Chain A
Amino acid sequence: GAVVSQHPSRVICKSGTSVKIECRSLDFQATTMFWYRQFPKQSLMLMATSNEGSKATYEQGVEKDKFLINHASLTLSTLTVTSAHPEDSSFYICSARDSSGSNEQFFGPGTRLTVL
């Protein structure tokens, strides 16, 4: 099946620093990618929808200046958590929708962010 990769798989950083997470679709093109956040024992929460070549659409309550999204190519989207704080510690998951026509959505393995 189609594969979505994320890098890094886990990251620990100091408060105030910025962290970039990459999401790649490895064997298909994705004009649309999604970024989710998941807190312990909770379901995935959509943060934003990333469209190749245009600005991301953020869900209500998600700060676009704090969570910068860049979808520069059909196989790569990045999420940058700027000036990270301990409350940003979470599991971040990306997902990519196959543009070929199947419309199927595939999920990455996730990135665990810990902000000290």
Chain B
Amino acid sequence: KNEVEQSPQNLTAQEGEFITINCSYSVGISALHWLQQHPGGGIVSLFMLSSGKKKHGRLIATINIQEKHSSLHITASHPRDSAVYICAVRPGSQGNLIFGKGTKLSVKP
């Protein structure tokens, strides 16, 4: 079993839909990252969370430390949101990031 599991693996949505991507992990962590990787390859750091909830524009990230679960929500999705979304956790206080396999999102106009 992978230490970081993301669901779904692939997601197709219509423009305007509300999207949720889930991340579950099995180790104790000090931080969780949500990353966005566009087809060209470049990675953008969206959020780093250690508790609670963060919001940036149309993106919302939540984390439940007790349940070892995080969600990334996209409101009013747009075709430009099409990308691979990656969850990564830092075990302990200084451990190296452990990456999920990513969720490929495609938003159709």
**A binding-site residues for B, Cβ under 8 Å:** 1, 34, 38, 43-44, 46, 49, 91, 93, 103-110, 112
Contact A107 B45 (CB under 8 A): yes
| A45 to B, closest residue via Cβ | B99
7 contacts between A and B (CB under 8 A): A1-B45, A34-B96, A34-B97, A43-B101, A49-B96, A104-B31, A112-B41
Shortest distance between the CB of B87 and any CB in chain A (Å): 10
> Does B44 sit within 8 A of A, measured CB to CB?
yes
Secondary structure at the B interface, as helix, strand, loop or mixed, is strand
Cβ-defined partner of A43 (8 Å) among B33, B44, B45, B99 = B99
User: In the assembly, what is the distance between CA of A109 and CA of B43, in Å?
Assistant: 6
Q: Which residues of chain B from 25 to 48 have any CB-CB distance to chain A below 8 Å in the complex?
A: 30-31, 33, 35, 41-45, 48
A2 CA to B109 CA, complexed, in Å: 31
